Structure 1
Amino acid sequence: MTYVDGASGSPRHAALLNGTASHTIEFDDIFRDGGYHPGSPTISAALAVAQAEGSSVEAFHRAVIGGYEVGCRIAIALQPSHYRNWHITATVGTMGAAVSTAMLKGCSAEGIAHAIAIASSFAGGHQENLQGQGQTKPMHCGHAAEAGVLAGLAAAEGVTGSPGSLDAPHGYAAATSDGTGNWQAGLEGLNEWTSISRMTFKNYGCCGHIFPALDGINAMRVEHGFDPGDIAEVEIHGYGPTVSICDRMDVQSARDARFSLQYCAAALLHTGAVRMAAFSPETLGRDDIRAFMDRVIVTEDATIAAAYPARRQARLVITLNSGVVIEHFQPTRKGDPDDPLTDAELFEKYDELTAGVLDAGAAERLRDVIMTGDELPGLVLIKTRQLSAA
């Protein structure tokens, strides 16, 4: 079953559609230390397999936690060099999905290891299809979920992979990053903390590398009370991907806009938010937002770059038409573990994302299912029935 179209299908089919849909509007969670979005591939795979197997909520939760733990720690071991050419959610997400699948299929530790090894042969998704033109990026997550399910199902049936698939001289780390992986970093704190407890929840519907700048603009606007018409120039100084991915003036689509710091900064100043409405055709077509983009300058700051990826920071300099220059250093991103969203803010985000898809009663019931841990079939049925009727 898949919640996207409400139709019955194989776990692989459901994982593909759910994973793709979950990444389309750039609202999925982030594991900051690995630059990785575990939720779309891992939960999409686990949800599909759990329903096919008739699994309990406890089994589903354990599988999700296990998929997060393995995927996030592999991400740490591969980064930062892996991200130079590879979309890590597409690659490592395949392994996280494989772990969840193998756990739900009752695999032993050895079987789970084989699932990871098999998944490493399926793991792809390069940066050109993340940064360049086209619509492939969300499919990266769908493919990762589907391929992870295939790897987990294969391992459950006895198919094996090489024990050195990740760290051998010709293994995955060697093929996709510098060296054979920093496994000491990946395993640091094992049995002391879990990756799923260190997640970032997005406060904006755009690339996470844009968040520190938006947080900084919000803070400056509250303190100084300026309007867009008061601003002559906005300088945004960030880390590597702030420039390499998000310094984007050519915005032809909502997908481009979600990766344009210039557009998102202009949209925030003119509309007060960077959520769903910021990427509607009406907002994308606004002349005032488009004209303001020319006033936003994006550069890399060596000190901020050195703190990446453990810290996602920004330094802003806003010059007003009056000649007054305002500066601000943004040390965190709202939604990161050290600056988390409150429950009220998470519910506000949930309400916005479900509006227009579920009626108010159905949205409330689904929220209760998620928060109280009712049996998984109930959660799936609410989703599929309401989305099928929408």
Structure 2
Amino acid sequence: ICRWAHAAIDAVRGLCLAHNLGPSDIAHVQVNSFHYAATLFDGMPDTTSKAQYSLRFAVATFITHGRIGLEHISGGGLEDAAVADMLTRIAVTETERHSARFPAGRWADVVITTSDGRVLASGDVHARGGPEAPMTLQDVEAKYMEFAAPVLGAHRATAIRDAVLSLNDRDSRLSDLSALLYDPPGTHG
């Protein structure tokens, strides 16, 4: 997903987690962001490229599934009726205060109107993953495992993760990590 969409996704994530919101709890989502984020592809994407560059689709997918995985931006994920329904409840608007901070920052704020009439505001949110809003080690590990395990196998992905995390240890050897990275697939489970 385009980095420009991440502030909005993170704002929605924060509100959904803080208020235990699911798709049926949400009547409307107003996303306010900077110019370039507000002009990303606006409809239901029919290709992976369009899905990766659609702020509304990314927000709708996160609300619907609680995450955005490869399966959501390809194949059947591009025809997900629940995501398409959620997409109709999301509006994106350029906000000058966010545009003025770009490109140094990628900001958004979100206002969710719930089905029971509550109005919940995120405040200004910077996209996670950079120095302004770093991800926790736990978040980085979870993201790595989500994408590495299906390709490398859970055992090998875990071994690589553990080897990387131990690189600061005095007894750690880079050769242990490189063996895991360069051995033929299948040798490490």
> Which ranges in structure 2 are unaligned for 5 or more consecutive residues?
168-172
Superposed CA deviations along residues 79-98 of structure 1, whole A, max 9, x for unmatched, are xxxxxxxxxxxxxxxxxxxx
Report which of the two has the higher share of strand: 2
Report deviation, 1:279: 2.2
Distance 2:49 2:186 in 1: 23
* Rg larger for: 1
Q: In the TM superposition, what is the alpha-carbon distance from 1:235 to its structure 2 partner? A: 1.1
Higher relative contact order (CA 8 A, sep 6+): 2
Instruction: Judge conservation of contact 1:369–1:379 (CA < 8 Å) in 2.
Output: no
Root mean square deviation, CA, Å = 2.6
**Residue 255 (1) aligns with residue 55 (2):** no
User: Do the aligned residues in 1 keep the contact of 2:47 with 2:74 (CA within 8 Å)?
Assistant: no
1:229 partner amino acid: S
Structure 1: 5+ residue stretches without partners: 1-205
What is the percentage of aligned positions where both structures have the same residue? 25
State the SS of the aligned residue for 1:255: helix
Q: Which amino acid aligns with 1:211?
A: H
Q: Is 1:231 matched with 2:26?
A: yes
Distance 1:313 1:255 in 2: 23
- 1:276 maps to what in 2? 70
Is the contact made by 2:180 and 2:188 (CA closer than 8 Å) also made in structure 1?
Answer: no
The question of 1:385 aligning with 2:179 is answered: no
TM-score of the two chains, using structure 2 as the length reference: 0.83
The amino acid that maps onto 1:279 is I
In the TM superposition, what is the alpha-carbon distance from 1:366 to its structure 2 partner?
2.6
2:169 maps to 1:374:
no
Q: What is the CA-CA distance between 1:270 and the residue it aligns to?
A: 1.0
Report the residue type matching 2:181 in the other structure: I
Alignment: residue pair count:
183
* Gap change, CA 1:388 and 1:306, over 3 Å in 2: farther
Structure 1 CA distance for aligned equivalents of residues 79 and 186 of structure 2: 29
Q: Which residue, out of 14, 28, 35, partners 1:240?
A: 35
Q: 2:156·2:180 contact (CA, 8 Å) conserved in 1?
A: no
SS of 1:236's equivalent in the other structure is strand
Following superposition, the deviation at residue 214 of structure 1 comes to 0.9
Q: Per-residue deviation at 1:306?
A: 0.5
- State whether residues 155 and 188 of structure 2, in contact with CA within 8 Å, keep that contact through their aligned partners in structure 1: no
Q: Which amino acid aligns with 2:115?
A: N
1:336-363 deviations in Å (ceiling 9; x for gaps)? 2132112222111111111122123322
Deviations 1:283-308 (Å, cap 9, x if unpaired)? 32221111221221111100111111
Contact 2:107 2:126 in 1 (8 A): yes
Match of 2:15 among 220, 234, 245: 220
Aligned to 2:170: none
Output one character per residue of 1:49-104: Cα deviation in whole Å (capped at 9) or x when no partner: xxxxxxxxxxxxxxxxxxxxxxxxxxxxxxxxxxxxxxxxxxxxxxxxxxxxxxxx
Aligned: 1:346 with 2:125 = no
Quote the offset at 1:367 in angstroms: 2.9
CA distance, structure 2, for counterparts of residue 334 and residue 285 of structure 1: 28
One-letter amino acid of the structure 2 residue matched with residue 374 of structure 1 = L
CA pair 269-381 structure 1, distance change in 2 beyond 3 A: closer
TM-score, length of structure 1 as denominator length: 0.43
Q: Distance in 1 between matches of 2:91 and 2:16?
A: 18
| Counterpart contact for 2:61–2:72, Cα < 8 Å | yes
